Structure 1
């Protein structure tokens, strides 16, 4: 034991001697560096002259120099500056010489300036400085523990003596660190701050003292819980305080030991006030020291440890003292606001550590308010008090805006949990969707009252805070406004769902109307205070978005599904008209928000009022106002926005108006053609034909509207309508719903039957749109529609022949007679000749190409099919007719070409 103490004392003395020698070596290196810089910065002649003068001066000094005394040595030591000393930083000591030779260097531009050597760490530096010090400190701490262990195994000393020696060793190490520091020790190498010997010695001493006190309590029972708790706390706080002169790492060690103390010391009757009182002292001391040294990480760590202890107490303690929990949370907020974020000195501290207490205090408040076992103890009131404290701190400390966000999130989550209590069933088009919510709580009414208080608190403080900050800090004002809007809306909606009548509740509707007016007034007040005023920034936008959402809630709370859909759609007119007096960018997007709500309602219930209440009356039912009035409102909003703010909201409103208009017609058709039933089943060919006609008509209308009032939405929408029509025809008319494949009845009327509706009318519409779009839309668009029309005419004529021979049902598997087979060939040849004549007269290459294609199909049919299927006179007539037509076409083209050649040879008049 004595040998160990002697070794430790010798080590400390060795450290002091090494520090002094480092100072002397540093002084010599600086002098050598100065001489080197002087030599390199001056010409050789000047150097020779300087050497002669220096030699003469040394001769004179040697003759008259007095004997150096110890006092002179002490003075020299005092004058030494150990900064940058060390064998690896010698070149860096030439800075004073460089300053002295700056004028000479400017006079001699060719002179070479000596720069300090780069402080790049190498393996020698790491091993010789940092690692040696760290391992040495760890060895000292472990050496003390091993010494105690050896004495135990050898039975040399009793437990009391061993613990006393361990305590003395810890004090000796801490005292050695302070002694070395007072001797003026500094890190001799730049970048090696981790090798600070006094700090390492003090940390080793604190480690040894922690271990000795814990052993005295937990192993031998020499100290009771109270004494051990007190001693460990004193050691931890003292270690944190010592960090003021030894660095942040030591403070971290002290904080870790302090926060582990409650876990190391157990008591038969634990007291919440003892625990949280101790944590409060450690937290305040840690925060104060972090504030003095601007140690962000240390401050955040202290807040995190306190928050973890609070949550651990809430979840693990059999009986919770609510006031003690609130007290430690208040101390946390006070340490943040009054110690860490207090103004003064060099300025406010960093704001990011405030996120840590914000998260933990908000979690504590949410747990107190939402957990039933804490609601019995008044958790709603205590949690609300904590949220109020967070808002107050955020209001008076701009750096604590994270408290506002955390408080808002906690309030929203608690109220959402209140709304999701019980089971829910949503009626969707594909069926009902049910899910189980949270378990009901007997204290829901108390939580509802607390929610109302918090809603008013957020509303008032949010508007006030935004009003104060909007001129100087728009982002912070937006944060205040956002929570002033969001929290009251969530509280109102959750309480309506939890306690109100979901069909109609005028009381909650009145509250929503009041909120709407309050948000509009708030937006106007903030807009007038903006810089420049009335620009409609983010804070103003949040206020008006809240007003729009509150108005939508009021409509849902006041009316049934039909009037809710109609009035919500009509609500889009209000912000559009408001753009006449205010140019806030958000007003156009409020119209878009209304579109989202209306489309969402229609997606959830396409029947508007429910399938059971829709009725079977065609056209004049709930579908007409439910779809058409929002479409008209969206069209008016788009028209109004085009004359005021314009931009993307106008385009979205135009698209929404077109979409709702098409849906109006489509839904009325589906309702009428399915006996008043709106389902998700596949349509019939007749119904699909109506949809195709609607799409083609919509394409023509959009082209006309775009010609009168150019718009990218109308232009793209017309192209989409045409392409959609082509897709309908290709997949539905020709493949999936073709009566030749489905054997669907074509009707008993000879001409005005299913074929007339599904093929002839769409063909006429496609051809008319192709002609109308020529020159107004891309060439491919008109060509696509022309080809579509030709295919529809071909299908109508062919299927009509089939119906003429087969009757009402024309399925392909019933076969065909020889006369029917010959009729197809004759029909296709006649149609080909007709297309050729039309193409020549209209000078349309598309029609001539279609003619050639159709005649080629007829030729292929005659040679491949008719030759094998037809017999007798029909086979002969088929070939004779084909030959006559082909010869006639050839003569026609020869005559046409001869006429063109003679016209080219004719001289000009």
Structure 2
């Protein structure tokens, strides 16, 4: 039976499988019918390549197969067909290889080097021939020299023959090597005749070497660059190789000038820049050697100076052209400046040397006018001239004046003439400023001795020097391009510096801040008139320099100490003038400047300087009120301006007010912090009444007035900070004044009146909070004051100085003592908090009711203690009557809590009642009953029993009512 069932089941499965396969085949057929053929790359056209009649067959293309995409078809990968190798004719390869330029072994060692090696070999051969004749003694020195000259001339003649037979030789290097070997032989023969055989003197040898150099330059025109190279090396080395111990410097300078000039001319005609650059470098080296040779006489100095001028200015100007010529001329001019400076320094700063430097400066001026790219040379020359003038040891006044005036005329006059023309720019403005400032600086360095006469003289010099940039400013005032760069600002700044220096020299030292401040104001006004922000930037530098000079030096430090109430009154009128002048300058910048960030800083600095002016003449006692008085006055003025316009100044005054209040605040905070640890806050530890009034109370009132009068001027955050500060100052001032009224100065007074003082203060806080809430509609302030009163009571009255454990007199009459208000204050305060903030109070209802319970219990037991002990509750003994009274009081309070909880529906009160009752029962059974006998013991048990019965009856009745209400509701 089981087998039959299995067969039936298998047949059903096979039938279902066959049906599914047929459906799948139908679906595949539909998909194949709808499918599109995949794109297959088309084979490229066959290309037939012919290489010298050799046909290269293209590869056989792969047949294109159309592939239809099916559900199982992912990709069709075509087989990669490698191309057949191309057949190329060998003859074509050789032709291509021969067409390319090659630089192989044969080219280098077969065609190029042998010719040059041959020329060198000939020169060596000539030297060896001469050496052989010397060693063997075959020829006399004269014959040897003559044969050497003939050999050198023969080589040069051979070069000429090679040139004339160019069609046969067909290589220019043959004649170049022969000419080079001939020139080298001539140089060697002349040197041997002079230095080895002493046949001729140094002068004759020098003339011979010069002649060979001239011959080399001539031959270079005929045979090429190698001859020029030998002429360059030989011509520059000839003076050293001639062997003269004491050379004729004028003659040597003339030779060097002619040689270097000839080489530079050859460099220009043949366009061999390397030749001209090498000649200039060699000439500069010879100039340095001549300068280091020692003191030069008049003729030598003149010749060396003219050589430096020629090498540095003339030769580079005419020898070079193109894009690199400017760089070469600039470098040559800089080197010439340095060498001319060395000539002046080593020559004792003679006027002749200065005249040569003047010629160099005029050449600079002319060269910069000819090539605008070389304008940067002028500041270099001016800097060198000023440095030399500064390094001039003990110059005569007349000579020094001539030199400085000459520098001013060449550099300053030229720059002034070119300044506002199309070619002028910042370089010329810098020259004008450099001439004016540098001339004054070097003059002060040499001739200022600090006397009154020197002060007046240099004040006039500074005024005259300031005229140069001032004239430059006036010349460019109407120039339409003056706003394109910083020329006007640079000139105005230099004139301002010179005017400030004139004031420093001509006026007393204490006027320095005023002078600089006046110059700063002038620059600000000039910037506004010119519409140039760069001039204002310069003015900012002068403005803050005035502030820095105000507080520098002994006088400045003394006046600065007055701001904090320190230091003596030394010259209050002068100090007032100094501080007020700088304050006015800063106010003008805060009002008229265009730089927004600078205006903010200037407001702050102006406020501080104005306060400093008051501090110089006002007694220290009144500085804090004056600073605070400035807040409402400034706030009143700010109401007529855009919002927050004077906020930096107001914030500065506010900060000064805080700083003046810091001392009484710290004097109050120190005992206040110690009071948190239980130390009494005695009046002797607090600030006196004057400090409290002038630094706290009056500033608090003035801050509040400023908040009222300047709401828009200080903003929302500023108002909040001001209100917090005013409230803090006011509360601390009132607390200090309140402490002064009770005058608790020692521990005995604290025991006697401490509780009364605290209770009254806490009551005043809560009353003030209620008044702020009800009368002035200031809920936040009122809530803060009420919470402060509650916190003060809980911390100081109920925790730190509780009469139970601290020595505090509470009064001798029961119910008419300080305990009633002391415990009523937190109860009333919590009730007021619930009225003032109902929603938060509702969320904290259980905590408030718990606080009520604790306060009631403490008050009840404290009153019981006072009934038995009198005014001092911290006595160490406990009477039997008081002990029984505590039990009875606990039971009474438990019944009261229960009744209140039933009436208000407060479960917490009922639970507290039960806990209190359980505590009372435990106390009666465990403590009270064990110590009583007779009627008292019976009375205690009776009272406890009736109480327990009453409480049980009340609970049962209350629970039945609750159950009935619950059924009705259900």
TM range (shorter): 0.5 to 0.7
Which residue, 613, 623, 641 being the options, matches 2:575? 623
Q: 1:462 to 1:548 in 2, by over 3 A?
A: same
Which residue, 569, 579, 603 being the options, matches 2:517? 569
Rg larger in structure? 2
Where does 1:746-765 land on structure 2 (aligned, <5 Å)?
752-765=689-702
Contact 1:340 1:349 in 2 (8 A): no
Three-state SS of the structure 2 residue aligned to 1:374 is coil
Structure 1 residue 448, shift from structure 2 partner = 3.4
Structure 1 residue 466, shift from structure 2 partner = 2.4
TM-score for the superposition, normalised by structure 1: 0.61
Q: 1:638 to 1:150 in 2, by over 3 A?
A: same
Structure 1 residue 621, shift from structure 2 partner = 0.9
Q: 1:362 to 1:375 in 2, by over 3 A?
A: same
Structure 1 residue 456, shift from structure 2 partner = 3.3
Which residue, 451, 459, 470 being the options, matches 1:520? 470
Structure 1 residue 629, shift from structure 2 partner = 2.8
Which residue, 865, 872, 879 being the options, matches 2:807? 872
Distance 1:834 1:128 in 2: 119
Where does 1:365-514 land on structure 2 (aligned, <5 Å)?
365-367=340-342, 374-375=348-349, 379-417=353-391, 441=394, 443=396, 445-467=398-420, 470-471=421-422, 473-475=423-425, 478-496=426-444, 498-499=446-447, 503=452, 505-506=455-456, 508-514=458-464
Which residue, 829, 835, 859 being the options, matches 1:889? 829
Q: Which residue of 2 aligns with 1:647?
A: 594
Contact 1:867 1:875 in 2 (8 A): no
Structure 1 residue 367, shift from structure 2 partner = 4.3
Contact 1:544 1:586 in 2 (8 A): no
Q: 1:763 to 1:609 in 2, by over 3 A?
A: closer
Structure 1 residue 669, shift from structure 2 partner = 1.6
Higher alpha-carbon deviation: 506-515 or 876-885? 876-885
Distance 1:899 1:783 in 2: 25
Distance 1:353 1:388 in 2: 19
Q: Which residue of 1 aligns with 2:608?
A: 662
Contact 2:283 2:311 in 1 (8 A): no
Count of residues paired in the alignment: 728
Contact 1:565 1:608 in 2 (8 A): no
Q: 1:138 to 1:278 in 2, by over 3 A?
A: same
Structure 1 residue 873, shift from structure 2 partner = 2.6
TM-score for the superposition, normalised by structure 2: 0.57
The answer to whether structure 1 residue 354 and structure 2 residue 329 are counterparts is yes
Structure 1 residue 799, shift from structure 2 partner = 6.1
Distance 2:770 2:547 in 1: 50
Three-state SS of the structure 2 residue aligned to 1:351 is helix
Q: 1:801 to 1:454 in 2, by over 3 A?
A: same
Contact 2:127 2:185 in 1 (8 A): no
Distance 1:868 1:572 in 2: 70
Q: 1:633 to 1:185 in 2, by over 3 A?
A: farther
Where does 1:125-136 land on structure 2 (aligned, <5 Å)?
none
Distance 1:206 1:534 in 2: 65
Q: Which residue of 2 aligns with 1:363?
A: 338
Q: Where does structure 2 lack aligned partners over 5 or more consecutive residues?
A: 1-44, 55-92, 673-682, 812-816, 843-970
Contact 2:514 2:582 in 1 (8 A): yes
Which residue, 560, 581, 599 being the options, matches 2:508? 560
Higher alpha-carbon deviation: 159-168 or 847-856? 159-168
Higher alpha-carbon deviation: 827-836 or 260-269? 827-836
Structure 1 residue 221, shift from structure 2 partner = 6.2
Contact 2:220 2:228 in 1 (8 A): yes
Q: Which residue of 2 aligns with 1:340?
A: 316
Structure 1 residue 887, shift from structure 2 partner = 3.0
Spell out, residue by residue over 1:442-472, the C-alpha distance to the aligned partner (whole angstroms, 9 max, x if none): 54552233213322333322222325xx22x
The answer to whether structure 1 residue 318 and structure 2 residue 264 are counterparts is no
Structure 1 residue 893, shift from structure 2 partner = 1.9
Q: Where does structure 1 lack aligned partners over 5 or more consecutive residues?
A: 1-42, 53-86, 95-118, 188-195, 419-439, 674-685, 903-909
RMSD: 6.4
Contact 1:526 1:539 in 2 (8 A): no
Distance 1:897 1:286 in 2: 105
Spell out, residue by residue over 1:259-291, the C-alpha distance to the aligned partner (whole angstroms, 9 max, x if none): 566556653213322443343234434544555
Three-state SS of the structure 1 residue aligned to 2:573 is coil
Q: 1:172 to 1:255 in 2, by over 3 A?
A: closer
Three-state SS of the structure 1 residue aligned to 2:493 is helix
Spell out, residue by residue over 1:549-568, the C-alpha distance to the aligned partner (whole angstroms, 9 max, x if none): 34334433433335564355
Distance 2:803 2:179 in 1: 106
Q: Which residue of 1 aligns with 2:934?
A: none
Structure 1 residue 404, shift from structure 2 partner = 0.9
Distance 1:884 1:89 in 2: 125
Contact 2:344 2:350 in 1 (8 A): no
Structure 1 residue 89, shift from structure 2 partner = 14
The structure showing larger relative contact order (alpha-carbon pairs under 8 Å, at least 6 residues apart) is 1
Contact 1:144 1:166 in 2 (8 A): no
Structure 1 residue 353, shift from structure 2 partner = 2.5
Distance 1:573 1:551 in 2: 13
Spell out, residue by residue over 1:753-799, the C-alpha distance to the aligned partner (whole angstroms, 9 max, x if none): 23434444454455555666755556544444444445545655666
